[in-house]
Structure 1
Amino acid sequence: MTKKIICIVALLLTLPQLALAIRIKDIASFDGVRDNQLIGYGLIVGLNGTGDSDQTKFPVQSLANVLERMGITVNRDDIKVKNVAAVMVTAELPPFSKQGTRVDVLVSSLGDAKSLAGGTLLMTPLKGADGQVYAVAQGGLLTNSFSYGGQAATAQKNHPTAGRIPNGALVERELPNVLADRSQLRLNLHQPDFTTATRIARAVNEQFKAGVASCNDPGSVVISLPDAYQGRVVEFVADMERLEVRPDNPAKVVLNERTGTIVIGENVRIDTVAVSHGNLTLLIKETPRVSQPQPLSRTGETVVVPRTGIKVSEESGGLAVLREGASIGDVVRALNALGVTPRDLIGILQAIKAAGAMQAELSVI
């Protein structure tokens, strides 16, 4: 019976650690394994008179070039169409994408088109930062919007000059495999931290029973491929990224004065400080009245009589004492007892930081 009680107590003590543990794949990624941005210039056709106007020159030039490549010679000055719009096409090329893989593309108008709804994107090469073509986009555009109107009124829903083509791009060039035939890998943390990097290295070494992981800076962990996994990099990565560690974050308070949003980290601590809160409201209201003579009277004139109402009110303030080492829960309960609003709380937290009583980083966005 005693052994069962000891086991239960030990399990309960480990529950907080397990609850906060996060997989390595969710807090870090391998060097070189990332998305790549693609961009291209194209034409949308099939618009119902909502394309670029004649004042936009480059869509006409692009249309003339397309027709010439198809064996149709036209005079650019004679082209006057409103069913064509010039667009920029962007996409994200995932890592390890193979030829024939399809990816989504985003299409945005370049000219003065009113709407791209119902249009079709012509074949558009998508290039990377190195100038090479990695994918080709084409297909019908979805905007989930509409825009209609006349001379006196218009009706619009969502944003009609930008849209998406699901699976609209076909990968034509593969990226090199950055993990092939490597004996050493580098794991980059999404949020660099000395403690988190050390915990990752310790977890990897304990799992594979060898000193294969080391960290030279808080942003990355260098991992040597164990002998048992030589030539099996993918299997090693699959086994390693499932390991769970408990990340550590610095104490931080984030304030957004525009929206009144406040985010306070778990590790924020407050030294002993007293906080008082009270508001003074002054209301001045002008209510002029008009004095005029009686109906059908022969004398008198209309006079505007000014009248000003002044009201001063002051909310009863309170004084709350926050003890040294108070946690975020203690701070919130104490300030809520004063009846402060989120915008008032922003000013109070800034004042506590200015007094040197907050042991945390204060970030205003």
Structure 2
Amino acid sequence: MKIKSLFISLLLLSVVLSSSAVAQRLKDIANIQGVRTNQLVGYGLVVGLPGTGEKTRYTEQTFKTMLKNFGINLPESVRPKVKNVAVVAVHAEMPAFIKPGQTIDVTVSSIGEAKSLRGGSLLQTFLKGVDGNVYAIAQGSLVVSGFSAEGLDGSQVIMNTPTVGRIPAGAMVERGVTSPFNNGDHLTFNLRRADFSTAKRTADAINDLLGPGIARALDASSIQVNAPRDASHRVSFLATLENIEVEPADESAKVIVNSRTGTIVVGQNVKLLPAAVTHGGLTVTIAEATQVSQPNPLAGGETVVTNDSTIDANLSDNRMFMFDPGTSLDELVRAVNLVGAAPSDVLAILEALKMAGALHGELIII
């Protein structure tokens, strides 16, 4: 295969970061410890479906339980036809500082054999937290973007996902979550990407604004800051802190390879030590052709079928190239492109360079 065709098949994605990091607000690179969302989940019934529900044992049991709560008791031998009903899992995220009486969005997903939730309504469903307490109650009509249609011959057309829907503002919060925001004499910021240099720069930026000793880096991720005890003063204090600009440190040198898609991402700080690489491939093509030998009718011979095999071997004429000390990302990408390597070949080259100790950076294969 020629170098040009190999080059076309190459999928090399190189990410070149700016040589000087851009300053970012503290709110964009860190979270306040203890201030977070909480996951809620529940189990309920969606009713009013146009025959796209399900008829399973647990659907019938859930339906009977619901009727029993309203004082209607069905005999055990009765199996209600509930094709317009589906059992669903309901989940939501409760933001920090949300108060009882406020609403949150919920997502409703079928957990049975229902073909579609389109047109259905969720009945009152309790949403519980990890501690087993009920924090919100969900109910309402579903918004389903998916669509499905099925013919009598079994053919089916499905667009998006008809078995998942949402209810905007579909859950009413009944209980709040206690936050440690107003507790103690200090607050802790947790960096979203742990780095010792960034932690130190964050503490220095806060101390430069508020005075020495106000902030201190506890580790590569956490920065502890002295804060006022009064709630209103603490809010104003945080409003000032979260807008402080910090220049994050450069990331460590990494090469990330996705072996399934052939995507290769090379960080800016990746360097190469002196190394020589050659890339070449032997392409062997075997073509089979069938030939029929038909003798003269008066010769008394027999018809013979023979196979004619053609084998062609092509050795690509690729040259060896050499990396000088401290070769940068641009030079690495240019050299690989000149070779015309396919993604699998690029991965082999990177692995060989790493094993040879010539790749200055971490090679991560996902």
Q: Secondary structure at the match of 2:101?
A: coil
Unaligned runs of 5+ in 1: 1-14
Bigger RCO of structures 1 and 2 (CA < 8 A, at least 6 apart)? 2
Classify 1:88/1:297 alpha carbon distance in 2 versus 1 (closer, same or farther; 3 Å).
Answer: farther
8 Å Cα contact 2:117-2:142 kept in structure 1: yes
Q: Percent identity?
A: 45
**Alignment pair present for 1:47 and 2:49:** yes
Q: How does 1:91-102 map to 2 (within 5 A)?
A: 91-102=92-103
Q: How does 1:126-205 map to 2 (within 5 A)?
A: 126-149=127-150, 150-205=152-207
Q: Once the two structures are superposed, what CA deviation does each residue of 1:287-317 show, in whole Å capped at 9, x if it has no partner?
A: 33456689x9997776543232322222221
8 Å Cα contact 1:282-1:312 kept in structure 2: yes
Q: Once the two structures are superposed, what CA deviation does each residue of 1:206-257 show, in whole Å capped at 9, x if it has no partner?
A: 1112211111211211111269x88511111111111111222211111101
Partner of 1:244: 245
Q: How big is the shift at 1:64? A: 0.8
Q: How does 1:2-151 map to 2 (within 5 A)?
A: 17=20, 20-53=22-55, 56-76=56-76, 77-149=78-150, 150-151=152-153
What amino acid is aligned across from residue 222 of structure 2 in structure 1? S
Unaligned runs of 5+ in 2: 1-17
Q: How big is the shift at 1:27? A: 1.3
Tell me how far apart the structure 1 counterparts of residues 302 and 42 of structure 2 sit (CA, whole Å): 75
Classify 1:101/1:322 alpha carbon distance in 2 versus 1 (closer, same or farther; 3 Å).
Answer: farther
Q: How big is the shift at 1:200? A: 0.7
Tell me how far apart the structure 2 counterparts of residues 168 and 329 of structure 1 sit (CA, whole Å): 52
Q: Once the two structures are superposed, what CA deviation does each residue of 1:308-333 show, in whole Å capped at 9, x if it has no partner?
A: 23222222212222221222122112
Tell me how far apart the structure 1 counterparts of residues 100 and 294 of structure 2 sit (CA, whole Å): 87
Tell me how far apart the structure 2 counterparts of residues 195 and 91 of structure 1 sit (CA, whole Å): 36
Structure 1 vs Structure 2 CA RMSD: 2.4
Q: Secondary structure at the match of 1:168?
A: strand
Classify 1:210/1:78 alpha carbon distance in 2 versus 1 (closer, same or farther; 3 Å).
Answer: same
Tell me how far apart the structure 2 counterparts of residues 362 and 312 of structure 1 sit (CA, whole Å): 34
The equivalent position to 1:254 in structure 2, one of 248, 253, 256, is 256
Classify 1:71/1:289 alpha carbon distance in 2 versus 1 (closer, same or farther; 3 Å).
Answer: farther
8 Å Cα contact 1:181-1:231 kept in structure 2: no
Tell me how far apart the structure 2 counterparts of residues 235 and 61 of structure 1 sit (CA, whole Å): 53
**Alignment pair present for 1:221 and 2:253:** no
Q: Secondary structure at the match of 1:288?
A: strand
Classify 1:308/1:173 alpha carbon distance in 2 versus 1 (closer, same or farther; 3 Å).
Answer: same
Q: How big is the shift at 1:353? A: 0.8
Tell me how far apart the structure 1 counterparts of residues 96 and 300 of structure 2 sit (CA, whole Å): 92
TM-score by length of 2: 0.87
Partner of 1:284: 286
